[in-house]
Structure 1
Amino acid sequence: MGKLVGFELNSQDPKKAASFYSTVFGWEISEPHWDYQTVTTTKDQQSGINGGIAKGPHDYPHGIRLQLEVDSIEEAITKATANGALVVRDKMEFEEFYLAYIVDPVGLGLGLIERK
């Protein structure tokens, strides 16, 4: 099952977005790392979801991508593409997880996360 584990706000002006969400909603936003800033909306994982703010890449310059944790990125991509999704970024490896990006059949962006 794809468990919702986070979000990514994509903007062409991530500093402005970070300032807005920090000021208006009190989110804690880290310093940029790889053009990505982690966002803490709550310290209690039971009552909220944390995420990040990034400079939107060419494949998704504006908008919000939900991050879904899956058991297997390959299996999720196979099912997603069979049902009309497009892969916009193949499986990438990070220190603690793998990540891929897809766009669903109606144009919504999703990040697929597979924990190591």
Structure 2
Amino acid sequence: MNTIGYFEIQSSNPASDAKFYEAVFGWKFIKDEFLPIEYYRIETNSINGGLLKRPSNIPQLGGGTNAFVCSIEVANFDEIAELIIANGGQIALPKFAIPARCYQGYFIDLDNNTFGVFEVNAQAK
């Protein structure tokens, strides 16, 4: 627990970038239909992730990045969310269910960095 268990790549053109990463690294991409944005699950030989439609403008070169988000697997989503808020963090995207997989949410740290938190739960709905 409390380790990086999932990563995400933001993309302006997810279908094209999925082909790129598949060709370069051999990752498998599976399009999901449960979110209101274009989203592909990524299966690698170790840690798995996702490729999603970028929700903002492409960062300018040399201006920092906002393209990769890590999600931390936790035992209790709600307890960790309370700790994040109590310590000055903010909610970026409230808790939601990924059916039959987990509960997921996104937060912003004290330096405006986005990170995810998820709790594995096969009964999530």
* Superposed pair shares fold, TM > 0.5: yes
Once residues 94 and 37 of structure 1 are traced to their aligned partners in structure 2, the CA distance between those partners, rounded to angstroms, is 13
2:104 is aligned to 99
* 1:12 to partner: Cα distance: 1.8
1:3 is aligned to 3
Once residues 98 and 22 of structure 2 are traced to their aligned partners in structure 1, the CA distance between those partners, rounded to angstroms, is 27
Contact 1:89 1:101 in 2 (8 A): yes
Superposition CA RMSD, Å: 1.9
What is the aligned-residue identity percentage? 30
Once residues 13 and 7 of structure 1 are traced to their aligned partners in structure 2, the CA distance between those partners, rounded to angstroms, is 18
Once residues 83 and 31 of structure 2 are traced to their aligned partners in structure 1, the CA distance between those partners, rounded to angstroms, is 36
* 1:94 to partner: Cα distance: 2.7
Contact 1:99 1:112 in 2 (8 A): yes
* 1:106 to partner: Cα distance: 2.0
- The count of aligned residue pairs is 109
2:83 is aligned to 79
Once residues 2 and 8 of structure 1 are traced to their aligned partners in structure 2, the CA distance between those partners, rounded to angstroms, is 17
Structure 1: stretches of 5+ with no match in the other structure: 43-47
Once residues 74 and 87 of structure 1 are traced to their aligned partners in structure 2, the CA distance between those partners, rounded to angstroms, is 12
* 1:101 to partner: Cα distance: 0.7
Once residues 27 and 14 of structure 1 are traced to their aligned partners in structure 2, the CA distance between those partners, rounded to angstroms, is 14
1:53 is aligned to 51
- So what's the TM-score if we normalise by structure 1? 0.80
Structure 2: stretches of 5+ with no match in the other structure: 60-65
* 1:57 to partner: Cα distance: 2.7
Contact 1:64 1:109 in 2 (8 A): no
SS class of match (2:111): coil
1:89 is aligned to 93
Check if 1:28 corresponds to 2:33. Answer: no
Structure 1 runs (4+) greater than 6 angstroms displaced: none
SS class of match (1:84): coil
Taking structure 1 as reference, are residues 108 and 15 closer, same or farther at Cα in structure 2, changes over 3 Å only? same
